[in-house]
Structure 1
Amino acid sequence: MREVTLRELEDSDLDTVFEMMRDPESAWMAAFTAEDPDDREAFDAHMRKIRARTDVTNRVIVGDGRMVGTIACFVMDGDTEITYWVDRSVWGQGVAGRAVALILEEVTVRPLYGRVASDNVGSLRVLTRAGFEKIGTDVGYAPARKAEIEETILRLS
Protein backbone atom coordinates (compact mmCIF):
# COMPACT_ATOMS: atom_id res chain seq x y z
CA MET A 1 0.00 0.00 0.00
CA ARG A 2 1.58 3.25 -1.12
CA GLU A 3 -0.41 5.92 0.70
CA VAL A 4 -2.11 5.84 4.10
CA THR A 5 -4.02 8.83 5.43
CA LEU A 6 -6.57 9.53 8.14
CA ARG A 7 -9.81 11.47 7.86
CA GLU A 8 -12.86 12.21 9.99
CA LEU A 9 -15.36 9.39 10.42
CA GLU A 10 -18.55 10.19 8.50
CA ASP A 11 -22.07 8.79 8.65
CA SER A 12 -21.56 7.22 5.23
CA ASP A 13 -18.67 5.11 6.64
CA LEU A 14 -20.76 3.27 9.20
CA ASP A 15 -21.99 0.47 6.91
CA THR A 16 -18.40 -0.34 5.96
CA VAL A 17 -17.19 -0.20 9.56
CA PHE A 18 -20.01 -2.52 10.62
CA GLU A 19 -19.13 -5.03 7.92
CA MET A 20 -15.40 -4.93 8.75
CA MET A 21 -16.12 -5.62 12.42
CA ARG A 22 -18.25 -8.65 11.53
CA ASP A 23 -15.30 -10.52 9.98
CA PRO A 24 -14.83 -13.57 12.25
CA GLU A 25 -11.03 -13.81 11.88
CA SER A 26 -10.56 -10.10 12.56
CA ALA A 27 -12.89 -10.25 15.55
CA TRP A 28 -10.97 -13.24 16.93
CA MET A 29 -7.70 -11.31 16.74
CA ALA A 30 -9.21 -8.16 18.26
CA ALA A 31 -10.90 -10.33 20.92
CA PHE A 32 -12.45 -7.45 22.89
CA THR A 33 -15.32 -6.73 20.53
CA ALA A 34 -19.08 -6.34 20.64
CA GLU A 35 -20.99 -9.19 22.27
CA ASP A 36 -22.86 -9.81 19.01
CA PRO A 37 -21.06 -8.47 15.92
CA ASP A 38 -24.24 -8.98 13.86
CA ASP A 39 -26.37 -6.71 16.07
CA ARG A 40 -26.66 -3.56 13.96
CA GLU A 41 -28.83 -1.75 16.50
CA ALA A 42 -26.20 -2.20 19.21
CA PHE A 43 -23.46 -1.11 16.79
CA ASP A 44 -25.38 2.04 15.82
CA ALA A 45 -26.12 2.87 19.47
CA HIS A 46 -22.44 2.43 20.37
CA MET A 47 -21.30 4.60 17.46
CA ARG A 48 -23.80 7.35 18.37
CA LYS A 49 -22.50 7.31 21.94
CA ILE A 50 -18.79 7.49 21.09
CA ARG A 51 -19.28 10.01 18.28
CA ALA A 52 -21.07 12.33 20.72
CA ARG A 53 -18.15 12.30 23.16
CA THR A 54 -15.71 15.21 23.10
CA ASP A 55 -12.85 13.08 24.47
CA VAL A 56 -12.78 10.71 21.47
CA THR A 57 -10.72 11.22 18.32
CA ASN A 58 -12.29 8.94 15.71
CA ARG A 59 -10.67 8.55 12.29
CA VAL A 60 -11.03 6.44 9.18
CA ILE A 61 -7.88 4.88 7.78
CA VAL A 62 -7.68 5.43 4.02
CA GLY A 63 -5.25 3.34 2.02
CA ASP A 64 -4.63 4.14 -1.62
CA GLY A 65 -7.91 6.03 -1.77
CA ARG A 66 -10.21 3.50 -0.09
CA MET A 67 -11.34 2.96 3.48
CA VAL A 68 -9.29 0.17 5.06
CA GLY A 69 -9.94 0.65 8.76
CA THR A 70 -10.56 2.87 11.73
CA ILE A 71 -8.39 4.28 14.48
CA ALA A 72 -9.35 6.18 17.60
CA CYS A 73 -8.10 7.57 20.87
CA PHE A 74 -10.48 7.78 23.81
CA VAL A 75 -10.49 8.34 27.56
CA MET A 76 -11.24 5.36 29.78
CA ASP A 77 -11.06 5.67 33.56
CA GLY A 78 -8.94 8.82 33.21
CA ASP A 79 -6.39 7.28 30.82
CA THR A 80 -6.21 8.02 27.10
CA GLU A 81 -6.13 4.81 25.05
CA ILE A 82 -5.62 3.97 21.40
CA THR A 83 -7.58 1.43 19.41
CA TYR A 84 -7.64 0.50 15.74
CA TRP A 85 -9.21 -1.95 13.33
CA VAL A 86 -7.61 -2.72 9.99
CA ASP A 87 -9.46 -4.66 7.30
CA ARG A 88 -8.01 -8.16 6.97
CA SER A 89 -7.46 -7.64 3.24
CA VAL A 90 -4.56 -5.27 4.04
CA TRP A 91 -2.99 -7.04 7.02
CA GLY A 92 0.78 -7.22 6.77
CA GLN A 93 1.09 -4.20 4.48
CA GLY A 94 2.15 -1.64 7.10
CA VAL A 95 -1.23 0.07 7.24
CA ALA A 96 -1.68 -0.16 11.01
CA GLY A 97 1.82 1.13 11.70
CA ARG A 98 1.38 4.13 9.44
CA ALA A 99 -2.07 4.88 10.85
CA VAL A 100 -0.71 4.75 14.41
CA ALA A 101 2.13 7.11 13.47
CA LEU A 102 -0.40 9.54 11.97
CA ILE A 103 -2.73 9.56 14.95
CA LEU A 104 0.21 10.01 17.32
CA GLU A 105 0.98 13.26 15.48
CA GLU A 106 -2.60 14.42 16.06
CA VAL A 107 -3.19 13.11 19.59
CA THR A 108 -0.27 14.32 21.67
CA VAL A 109 -1.58 13.27 25.10
CA ARG A 110 1.00 11.26 26.99
CA PRO A 111 1.01 8.82 28.48
CA LEU A 112 -1.11 6.99 25.92
CA TYR A 113 -2.14 3.40 26.54
CA GLY A 114 -2.94 0.42 24.37
CA ARG A 115 -4.42 -2.95 25.24
CA VAL A 116 -3.93 -5.94 22.98
CA ALA A 117 -4.86 -9.61 23.23
CA SER A 118 -1.52 -11.09 24.25
CA ASP A 119 -1.55 -13.57 21.37
CA ASN A 120 -2.17 -10.82 18.79
CA VAL A 121 1.47 -10.65 17.74
CA GLY A 122 0.81 -8.26 14.84
CA SER A 123 -0.81 -5.57 16.98
CA LEU A 124 1.82 -5.96 19.69
CA ARG A 125 4.49 -5.40 17.04
CA VAL A 126 2.70 -2.32 15.64
CA LEU A 127 2.51 -0.64 19.03
CA THR A 128 6.02 -1.52 20.18
CA ARG A 129 7.46 -0.23 16.91
CA ALA A 130 5.59 3.03 17.57
CA GLY A 131 7.37 3.34 20.91
CA PHE A 132 4.85 1.77 23.26
CA GLU A 133 6.36 -0.29 26.07
CA LYS A 134 4.78 -3.32 27.68
CA ILE A 135 3.91 -2.46 31.27
CA GLY A 136 1.79 -5.41 32.34
CA THR A 137 -0.97 -7.84 31.63
CA ASP A 138 -4.56 -8.27 32.67
CA VAL A 139 -7.19 -10.94 32.22
CA GLY A 140 -10.58 -10.01 30.86
CA TYR A 141 -13.58 -11.45 29.11
CA ALA A 142 -13.16 -11.35 25.32
CA PRO A 143 -16.61 -11.48 23.69
CA ALA A 144 -15.23 -12.57 20.30
CA ARG A 145 -13.68 -15.64 21.94
CA LYS A 146 -16.37 -16.16 24.56
CA ALA A 147 -13.65 -16.66 27.16
CA GLU A 148 -11.36 -14.83 29.53
CA ILE A 149 -7.99 -14.17 27.95
CA GLU A 150 -4.81 -12.36 28.77
CA GLU A 151 -4.27 -8.92 27.34
CA THR A 152 -1.03 -6.97 27.28
CA ILE A 153 -1.09 -3.38 28.50
CA LEU A 154 1.27 -0.94 26.78
CA ARG A 155 2.18 2.69 27.43
CA LEU A 156 3.70 5.43 25.30
CA SER A 157 5.33 8.05 27.55
Structure 2
Amino acid sequence: MNPRRQKRLIGVLSIVLLVGAAVWMMLSALSENIDHFYTPSEIINGKQGVTPKVGQRLRIGGMVVPGSVKRDQESLSVSFDLADTGPVVTVSYAGILPDLFREGQGIVATGRLAENNFIVADEVLAKHDEEYMPPELAEKMKGIKHVKPENLNTNQNTGSGQ
Protein backbone atom coordinates (compact mmCIF):
# COMPACT_ATOMS: atom_id res chain seq x y z
CA MET A 1 0.00 0.00 0.00
CA ASN A 2 1.19 3.45 -0.86
CA PRO A 3 2.43 5.36 2.28
CA ARG A 4 0.24 8.32 1.33
CA ARG A 5 -2.89 6.12 1.17
CA GLN A 6 -1.90 4.45 4.43
CA LYS A 7 -1.71 7.82 6.23
CA ARG A 8 -5.05 8.85 4.74
CA LEU A 9 -6.66 5.54 5.85
CA ILE A 10 -5.29 5.93 9.38
CA GLY A 11 -6.59 9.53 9.50
CA VAL A 12 -10.08 8.54 8.32
CA LEU A 13 -10.26 5.58 10.74
CA SER A 14 -9.15 7.73 13.66
CA ILE A 15 -11.81 10.37 12.83
CA VAL A 16 -14.50 7.68 12.61
CA LEU A 17 -13.40 6.22 15.98
CA LEU A 18 -13.37 9.66 17.63
CA VAL A 19 -16.84 10.52 16.31
CA GLY A 20 -18.13 7.09 17.40
CA ALA A 21 -16.70 7.54 20.90
CA ALA A 22 -18.23 11.02 21.18
CA VAL A 23 -21.67 9.73 20.11
CA TRP A 24 -21.44 6.82 22.58
CA MET A 25 -20.52 9.18 25.45
CA MET A 26 -23.44 11.53 24.62
CA LEU A 27 -25.95 8.68 24.44
CA SER A 28 -24.78 7.12 27.69
CA ALA A 29 -24.99 10.50 29.46
CA LEU A 30 -28.50 11.06 28.11
CA SER A 31 -29.73 7.62 29.12
CA GLU A 32 -28.78 8.32 32.75
CA ASN A 33 -30.96 11.44 32.81
CA ILE A 34 -34.09 9.99 31.24
CA ASP A 35 -37.19 9.85 33.47
CA HIS A 36 -39.48 7.09 32.21
CA PHE A 37 -43.23 7.70 32.54
CA TYR A 38 -45.26 5.13 34.46
CA THR A 39 -48.81 4.79 35.74
CA PRO A 40 -49.45 3.21 39.15
CA SER A 41 -50.50 -0.05 37.45
CA GLU A 42 -47.26 -0.15 35.45
CA ILE A 43 -45.15 0.36 38.57
CA ILE A 44 -46.80 -2.61 40.30
CA ASN A 45 -47.38 -4.92 37.30
CA GLY A 46 -44.59 -3.79 35.00
CA LYS A 47 -44.49 -2.02 31.66
CA GLN A 48 -44.03 -4.47 28.78
CA GLY A 49 -42.86 -7.07 31.29
CA VAL A 50 -40.29 -4.80 32.96
CA THR A 51 -40.87 -3.28 36.41
CA PRO A 52 -38.92 -0.23 37.55
CA LYS A 53 -36.08 -0.85 39.99
CA VAL A 54 -35.93 0.60 43.48
CA GLY A 55 -33.93 3.83 43.30
CA GLN A 56 -34.81 4.50 39.65
CA ARG A 57 -35.83 8.03 38.63
CA LEU A 58 -39.27 8.12 37.04
CA ARG A 59 -42.36 10.17 36.33
CA ILE A 60 -45.71 8.87 37.51
CA GLY A 61 -49.13 10.12 36.52
CA GLY A 62 -52.53 9.33 37.95
CA MET A 63 -55.47 10.59 39.94
CA VAL A 64 -55.11 11.57 43.59
CA VAL A 65 -57.30 9.16 45.56
CA PRO A 66 -59.99 11.07 47.52
CA GLY A 67 -59.38 10.95 51.29
CA SER A 68 -55.73 9.88 50.95
CA VAL A 69 -53.94 13.23 51.36
CA LYS A 70 -52.04 13.35 54.67
CA ARG A 71 -50.25 16.59 55.57
CA ASP A 72 -47.60 16.94 58.28
CA GLN A 73 -48.64 19.78 60.60
CA GLU A 74 -45.05 20.79 61.38
CA SER A 75 -43.54 20.82 57.88
CA LEU A 76 -44.45 21.00 54.21
CA SER A 77 -44.39 17.21 53.88
CA VAL A 78 -47.42 15.58 52.35
CA SER A 79 -48.22 12.04 51.26
CA PHE A 80 -51.07 10.87 49.08
CA ASP A 81 -52.20 7.86 47.11
CA LEU A 82 -52.19 7.85 43.33
CA ALA A 83 -54.31 5.49 41.23
CA ASP A 84 -55.23 4.86 37.61
CA THR A 85 -57.22 1.76 36.69
CA GLY A 86 -55.88 -0.65 39.27
CA PRO A 87 -53.29 -0.66 42.05
CA VAL A 88 -52.56 2.33 44.24
CA VAL A 89 -49.11 3.86 44.74
CA THR A 90 -48.19 6.18 47.62
CA VAL A 91 -46.30 9.39 46.84
CA SER A 92 -44.42 11.43 49.45
CA TYR A 93 -43.47 15.04 48.71
CA ALA A 94 -41.77 17.72 50.80
CA GLY A 95 -42.51 21.17 49.41
CA ILE A 96 -45.24 23.52 48.33
CA LEU A 97 -47.90 21.79 46.27
CA PRO A 98 -49.35 23.49 43.17
CA ASP A 99 -52.49 25.57 43.70
CA LEU A 100 -54.50 23.20 41.49
CA PHE A 101 -53.56 20.12 43.55
CA ARG A 102 -56.58 18.47 45.20
CA GLU A 103 -58.16 15.08 45.72
CA GLY A 104 -59.65 13.51 42.62
CA GLN A 105 -57.34 15.60 40.41
CA GLY A 106 -54.85 14.30 37.86
CA ILE A 107 -51.19 14.95 38.66
CA VAL A 108 -47.74 14.06 37.39
CA ALA A 109 -44.91 13.57 39.91
CA THR A 110 -41.19 13.22 39.25
CA GLY A 111 -39.04 11.38 41.77
CA ARG A 112 -37.42 8.11 42.80
CA LEU A 113 -38.96 4.73 43.52
CA ALA A 114 -38.19 4.08 47.21
CA GLU A 115 -40.11 0.79 47.51
CA ASN A 116 -42.28 -1.27 45.17
CA ASN A 117 -45.29 1.01 45.70
CA PHE A 118 -43.77 4.11 47.35
CA ILE A 119 -42.32 7.12 45.53
CA VAL A 120 -40.39 10.04 46.98
CA ALA A 121 -41.22 12.95 44.68
CA ASP A 122 -38.97 15.91 43.87
CA GLU A 123 -41.65 17.71 41.86
CA VAL A 124 -45.45 17.56 41.65
CA LEU A 125 -47.37 19.07 38.74
CA ALA A 126 -51.16 19.42 38.67
CA LYS A 127 -53.23 19.56 35.53
CA HIS A 128 -54.13 23.05 34.40
CA ASP A 129 -57.76 22.64 33.35
CA GLU A 130 -60.63 20.18 33.42
CA GLU A 131 -59.75 18.47 30.14
CA TYR A 132 -55.98 18.10 30.37
CA MET A 133 -54.37 14.78 31.12
CA PRO A 134 -50.92 13.52 30.11
CA PRO A 135 -51.32 11.55 26.84
CA GLU A 136 -49.81 8.40 28.33
CA LEU A 137 -52.26 8.51 31.25
CA ALA A 138 -55.25 9.36 29.04
CA GLU A 139 -54.56 6.26 26.94
CA LYS A 140 -54.47 4.05 30.05
CA MET A 141 -57.64 5.52 31.55
CA LYS A 142 -59.93 5.42 28.51
CA GLY A 143 -63.42 4.42 29.54
CA ILE A 144 -62.87 4.96 33.28
CA LYS A 145 -65.28 7.46 34.84
CA HIS A 146 -63.99 9.34 37.89
CA VAL A 147 -66.29 11.28 40.19
CA LYS A 148 -64.93 14.61 41.33
CA PRO A 149 -65.09 15.21 45.10
CA GLU A 150 -67.26 18.32 44.72
CA ASN A 151 -69.82 16.30 42.70
CA LEU A 152 -70.24 13.51 45.26
CA ASN A 153 -73.11 15.21 47.12
CA THR A 154 -74.68 17.00 44.15
CA ASN A 155 -76.26 13.78 42.87
CA GLN A 156 -78.40 13.64 46.01
CA ASN A 157 -79.42 17.28 45.76
CA THR A 158 -80.44 17.35 42.08
CA GLY A 159 -83.96 18.59 41.74
CA SER A 160 -84.13 20.16 45.19
CA GLY A 161 -84.71 23.89 45.16
CA GLN A 162 -86.73 23.84 41.93
TM bucket (normalised to shorter chain) is under 0.3
When you count strand as a share of all residues, which structure comes out higher? 1
When you count helix as a share of all residues, which structure comes out higher? 1
Higher-Rg structure is: 2
Question: Which structure exhibits the higher relative contact order, with contacts defined as CA atoms closer than 8 Å and separated by 6 or more residues?
Answer: 1
TM-score by structure 1 length?
Answer: 0.25
TM-score by structure 2 length?
Answer: 0.24
